């Protein structure tokens, strides 16, 4: 057998320490006729050599290793898409780990529901190999794949996402101008074209958290996310666009606050006060709800009293209730 049913696109950069477990998890689904397309984004370690060593006993049709020359993760995924040969594409990041059924379950769902264009599973978030921190099951919050739901929830993780390859060709792949939120942008473009998606209502992958790395990129993450939102909100009515924009911006306030970047959080609150659809008396309560809900999503404790007594909240009230 040398005709893969699913192409696993695996971008990697300086991921040598993660690759053995990542590949071992993929190989557990050997019965699935997959091809692995590993795209090297100019690694400075021996990741490419390690993949070749670990896969040398695989049939050659089972894996390819190609170079992306440091053009970024979006370009790396697009490179993998462009050379894939299977009718379905599953993304995996090198520091994540596929759970049993990661590839077989979506294929079965496509077989059972041939009208579907893409399938998204849930995921576990973890900080190290033996620590499952919390699960993410966005369908329990009402997340779906129409444009309004996608604008509201923005629930997407490439490592848990499987799509028909012709959909990715139609949509043009990932936007290489984005360093962050490129997955949200792709989800919104797919939703805008009304391609049909569905949840596979179980976790399919373990998603590795890198708290230190994430906190260093908060400003860039927020900038790209709001850029993506501005791009897509032009297609919805103004009153709805204002609510989606504010909801996203208020989540960004939480993200900055959660990462102890209080100056960025306060600066974002200044913008919130301009575009907020809520009356001033409602704004503090709404922001507390956003903070509580966002903490709950990552199974983190939220001390409302401590927040209200903090100097950050004092500054926030000045902006929320001018």
Assess contact for 33 and 63: CB atoms under 8 A. no
- Please, which residues have CB within 8 angstroms of residue 82's CB and are 6 or more apart in sequence? 173
Query: How many Cβ atoms sit within 10 Å of the Cβ of residue 293?
Result: 13
Residue 129 confidence (pLDDT): 58
Closest CA to 307 of 297, 295, 321, 322: 295
In angstroms, rounded to a whole number, what is the distance separating the alpha carbons of residues 119 and 198? 5
pLDDT in tens, 153-193: 999 999 999 999 999 999 999 999 999 999 999 999 999 99
Assess contact for 2 and 62: CB atoms under 8 A. no
User: Domains (ranges, CATH) in the chain?
Assistant: 6-209 (3.90.550.10), 213-320 (no CATH)
Q: Which percentage of the chain shows pLDDT scores above 70? A: 95
DSSP code of residue 218: H
Place of tokens 């998603």: 207
In angstroms, rounded to a whole number, what is the distance separating the alpha carbons of residues 84 and 175? 18
Mean pLDDT score of the chain, rounded to an integer? 92
Residue 211 confidence (pLDDT): 60
Tokens of 52: 């070749």
Tokens of 190: 């797919």
pLDDT in tens, 204-262: 999 988 765 544 588 999 999 999 999 999 999 998 999 999 999 999 999 999 989 99
pLDDT at 268 over 50: yes
Residue 215 confidence (pLDDT): 47
Closest CA to 245 of 231, 229, 257, 221: 229
pLDDT at 195 over 90: yes
Q: 70: pLDDT confidence band, cut at 50, 70 and 90?
A: confident
């Amino acid at each position: 057998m040398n005709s893969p049913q699913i192409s696993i696109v695996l971008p990697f950069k300086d991921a040598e320490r993660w690759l053995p477990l990542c590949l071992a998890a993929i190989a557990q689904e050997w019965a699935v006729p997959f091809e692995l397309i590993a795209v090297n984004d100019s690694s400075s370690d021996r990741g490419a050599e390690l993949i070749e060593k670990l896969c040398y006993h695989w049939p050659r049709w089972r894996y390819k290793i190609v170079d992306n020359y440091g053009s970024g993760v979006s370009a790396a995924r697009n490179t993998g898409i462009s050379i894939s040969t299977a009718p379905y594409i599953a993304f995996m990041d090198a520091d994540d780990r596929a759970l049993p059924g990661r590839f077989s379950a979506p294929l079965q769902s496509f077989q059972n529901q041939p009208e579907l264009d893409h399938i998204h599973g849930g995921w576990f978030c973890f900080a190290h190999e033996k620590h499952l921190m919390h699960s993410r099951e966005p369908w329990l919050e009402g997340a779906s794949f129409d444009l309004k739901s996608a604008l509201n929830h923005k629930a997407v993780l490439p490592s848990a996402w499987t799509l028909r390859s012709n959909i990715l060709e139609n949509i043009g792949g990932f936007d290489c101008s984005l360093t962050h939120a490129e997955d949200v942008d792709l989800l919104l473009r797919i939703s805008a074209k009304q391609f049909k998606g569905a949840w596979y209502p179980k976790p399919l992958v373990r998603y590795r958290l890198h708290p230190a790395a994430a906190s260093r990129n908060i400003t860039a993450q927020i900038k790209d996310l709001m850029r993506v939102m501005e791009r897509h909100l032009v297609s919805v009515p103004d009153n709805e666009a204002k609510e989606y924009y504010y909801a996203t911006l208020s989540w960004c306030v939480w993200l900055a606050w959660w990462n102890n970047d209080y100056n960025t959080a306060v600066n974002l609150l200044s913008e919130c006060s301009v575009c907020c659809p809520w009356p001033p008396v409602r704004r503090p309560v709404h922001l507390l709800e956003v903070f509580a809900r966002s903490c709950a999503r990552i199974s983190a404790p939220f001390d409302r009293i401590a927040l209200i007594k903090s100097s950050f909240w004092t500054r926030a009230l000045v902006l929320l209730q001018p």
